[in-house]
């Protein structure tokens, strides 16, 4: 009989974390921390006497912004020049990001009138992350009543494919987790619904789109579930997230406030922070009601703000952002070998996806028979899947093959990390096989038979200018040239491009004469 250990699931995003377990009721439970939060902001705040995390810390963005930090998980293991979050400062000796925190000495009653200067201490993102995760682990142990040994943590799919999870795993080990397994966010979402719907969904072969509208980005992923084996076929991402929908409300409310009070808060960081916190709540309320009022006491210059907005206006203002998300879904499917008609299910996740307009427009992309699944709380679905995987591992931790249990549920196929394309006569880069395409892949192009040698310069990269990308190979095909002959009007040369992780194979055929040639290039 195997020794069962206590594990939890952890959905760890840029802005929020969610804890989950099956150790209490044998079903999946979402763990609330001591403040009652099931969705715990990735935020810490250093006070004069205390260290706060989650919602308590986020509330300090208004009162103690200098010592309140967000988005630190996202930059662990990175150099300063690799990060976008410039709240962190540069450690000139290491070239790494650090945070300068004001630490006050303990309160001294005898010298209460004496002005105390704070000490400036530096903390790395790794140190901040460890303290945050230690607090999460403690909350989970208080909820379960047991010491926690293992953790299944969700990560973006790119980190799984690029084997880029070591920094996060190291932080989790230092936070007290003996065992750590990483699972991609799409795989966790699929596992959540497989568990919810049982054998009916497991014993089948389905194409599933996961539409994940998170706080900072929208991720679209197409996977194939073949009898419980989850294979990623294609994925795309665009920088549209819940924050951008918050920005719509912020701009609307601050303009209304300016009209009414003739006060511009564009340069007032404190007022904008208060308005952002209020706008986040307003957005969530609009997902449930047809209209709501956003209120902020003493927004600026002692003036309160009370402004009403209805769902119809918000939907109209959000339309452009939602359409960009829909375009990303279309790109995901276009870059696979699957048609829209072959999509069996769409799983909608991510806290910002609660917006009814977003859900209805995603549904409108697909056929009537395509099932739309959104009945698990969208910001808890990934944590739900992590808990399912954690249960599997906890029951088999003493078996030598336990590491393979995760790999058996998610096949990491080779994929193209940069687009492959050709240079046109203007020097522009024309992508043929887009990045993230699963390999091997096949693409077809047709050219006119001009009775001259065909020249192709293949490049890899994302720049619109071909020469700014990496030159893979230059190919000349002269097999179809007839000396002294004329161009054949309407005659076409068909070019089939087969791309594998090792080779680029070009098959060319004269469609009229059926003459063909083949070129193989090692890449």
Kindly report, residue by residue over 129-167, the tens digit of the pLDDT: 999 999 999 999 999 999 999 999 999 877 776 667 889
- For the chain, what is the mean pLDDT? 87
CATH of the domain at 511: 2.60.34.10
List the structure tokens of 324: 């960009």
- 367 belongs to a structural domain: yes
Most confident of 405-409, 412-416, 516-520: 516-520
Q: What is the mean pLDDT of residues 180-193?
A: 92
Does residue 302 sit in the same domain as residue 327? no
Does residue 478 sit in the same domain as residue 425? yes
- 105 belongs to a structural domain: no
d(CA 72, CA 92): 19
**Do 321 and 244 meet the contact criterion of CB atoms below 8 Å apart?**
yes
Does residue 235 sit in the same domain as residue 246? no
- 347 belongs to a structural domain: yes
User: Residue 388: its pLDDT value, please?
Assistant: 92
- From 32-36, 143-147, 197-201, the region with the lowest mean pLDDT: 197-201
On the question of pLDDT at 353 being above 70, the answer is: yes
- 141 belongs to a structural domain: no
pLDDT band, very low/low/confident/very high, at 411 (cuts 50, 70, 90): very low
Kindly report, residue by residue over 258-296, the tens digit of the pLDDT: 999 999 999 999 999 999 999 999 999 999 999 999 999
User: Residue 406: its pLDDT value, please?
Assistant: 44
Does residue 312 sit in the same domain as residue 433? no
Kindly report, residue by residue over 57-69, the tens digit of the pLDDT: 999 999 899 999 9
- 210 belongs to a structural domain: yes
Does residue 299 sit in the same domain as residue 334? no
Query: What residues contact 92, with CB distance under 8 A and at least 6 apart?
Result: none
Kindly report, residue by residue over 77-99, the tens digit of the pLDDT: 888 888 876 678 888 777 889 99
Domain count, the chain: 3
Among 316, 340, 361, the domain-final residue is 316
User: Residue 400: its pLDDT value, please?
Assistant: 58
Kindly report, residue by residue over 230-265, the tens digit of the pLDDT: 888 888 899 999 999 999 999 999 999 999 999 999
On the question of pLDDT at 2 being above 50, the answer is: no
List, in sequence order, every residue forming a beta bridge with 82; answer none if it has no partner: none
Q: What is the mean pLDDT of residues 324-337?
A: 90
pTM here?
0.75
Does residue 280 sit in the same domain as residue 363? no
CATH of the domain at 295: 3.90.640.10
Does residue 293 sit in the same domain as residue 203? no
List the structure tokens of 207: 């194409």
- 50 belongs to a structural domain: no
Does residue 495 sit in the same domain as residue 425? yes
On the question of pLDDT at 412 being above 60, the answer is: no
d(CA 449, CA 487): 6
On the question of pLDDT at 195 being above 90, the answer is: no
Q: Which one, of 188, 230, 201, 206, lies nearest residue 388 by Cα?
A: 188
List, in sequence order, every residue forming a beta bridge with 411; answer none if it has no partner: 231
Does residue 478 sit in the same domain as residue 359? no
Run of H or E including 222: strand 218-226
Query: CA neighbours within 13 Å on the CB side: how many for 301?
Result: 8
**Do 236 and 462 meet the contact criterion of CB atoms below 8 Å apart?**
no
List the structure tokens of 302: 């002692």
Does residue 450 sit in the same domain as residue 510? yes
- 386 belongs to a structural domain: no
pLDDT band, very low/low/confident/very high, at 7 (cuts 50, 70, 90): very high
On the question of pLDDT at 117 being above 50, the answer is: yes
Residue reference for tokens 């099932």: 371
Does residue 431 sit in the same domain as residue 499? yes
User: Residue 85: its pLDDT value, please?
Assistant: 67
User: Residue 363: its pLDDT value, please?
Assistant: 96
Residue 331: give the domain boundaries.
199-239+319-375
Among 291, 316, 341, the domain-final residue is 316
Does residue 220 sit in the same domain as residue 360? yes
Among 267, 286, 316, the domain-final residue is 316
d(CA 78, CA 76): 6
Q: Is 375 helix (H, G, I), strand (E, B) or coil?
A: coil
- 19 belongs to a structural domain: no
């Amino acid at each position: 009989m195997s020794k069962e250990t206590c594990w939890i699931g952890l959905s760890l995003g840029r802005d929020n974390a969610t804890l989950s377990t099956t150790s209490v009721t044998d079903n999946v439970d979402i763990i609330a921390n001591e403040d009652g939060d099931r969705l715990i902001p990735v935020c810490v705040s250093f006070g004069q006497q205390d260290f706060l995390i989650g919602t308590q810390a986020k509330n300090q963005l208004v009162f103690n912004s200098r010592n309140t930090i967000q988005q630190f998980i996202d930059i662990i293991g990175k150099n300063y020049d690799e990060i976008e979050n410039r709240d962190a400062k540069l450690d000139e000796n290491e070239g790494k990001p650090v945070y300068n925190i004001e630490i006050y000495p303990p309160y001294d009653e005898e010298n209460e009138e004496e002005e105390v200067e704070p000490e400036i201490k530096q903390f790395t993102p790794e140190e901040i992350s460890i303290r945050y995760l230690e607090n999460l682990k403690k909350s989970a142990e208080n909820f379960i009543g047991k010491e926690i040994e293992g953790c299944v943590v969700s990560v973006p799919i790119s980190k799984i494919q690029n084997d880029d999870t070591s920094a996060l795993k190291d932080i989790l080990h230092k936070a007290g987790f003996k065992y750590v397994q990483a699972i991609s966010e799409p795989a966790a979402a699929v596992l959540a619904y497989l568990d919810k719907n049982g054998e009916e969904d497991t014993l089948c072969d389905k194409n599933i789109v996961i539409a994940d509208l998170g706080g900072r980005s929208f991720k679209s992923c197409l996977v194939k579930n073949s009898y419980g084996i989850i294979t990623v076929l294609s994925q795309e991402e665009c920088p549209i997230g819940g924050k951008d929908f918050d920005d719509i409300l912020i701009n609307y409310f601050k303009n209304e406030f300016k009209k009414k009070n003739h006060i511009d808060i564009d340069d007032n960081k404190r007022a904008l922070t208060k308005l952002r916190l209020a706008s986040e709540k307003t957005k969530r309320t609009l997902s449930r009601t047809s209209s709501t009022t956003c209120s902020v006491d003493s927004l600026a210059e002692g003036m309160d703000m009370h402004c009403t907005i209805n769902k119809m206006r918000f939907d109209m203002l959000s339309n452009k952002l939602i359409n960009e998300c829909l375009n990303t879904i279309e790109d995901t499917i276009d870059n696979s070998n699957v048609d829209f008609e072959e999509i069996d299910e769409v799983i909608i996740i991510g806290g910002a996806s609660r917006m009814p307009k977003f859900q209805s427009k995603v549904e409108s992309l697909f056929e009537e028979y395509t099932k739309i699944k959104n009945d698990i709380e969208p910001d808890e679905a990934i944590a739900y899947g992590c808990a399912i995987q954690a249960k599997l591992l906890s029951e088999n931790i003493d078996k030598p093959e336990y590491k393979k249990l995760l790999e058996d549920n998610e096949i990491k196929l080779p994929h193209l990390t940069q687009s492959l394309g050709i240079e046109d006569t203007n020097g522009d880069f024309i992508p043929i096989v887009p990045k993230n395409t699963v390999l091997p892949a096949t693409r077809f192009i047709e050219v006119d038979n001009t009775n001259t040698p065909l020249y192709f310069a293949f490049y890899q990269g994302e720049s619109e200018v071909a020469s700014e990308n990496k030159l893979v190979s230059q190919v000349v095909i002269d097999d179809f040239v007839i000396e002294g002959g004329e161009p054949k009007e309407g005659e076409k040369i068909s070019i089939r491009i087969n791309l594998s992780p090792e080779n680029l194979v070009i098959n060319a055929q004269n469609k009229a004469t059926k003459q063909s040639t083949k070129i193989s290039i090692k890449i």
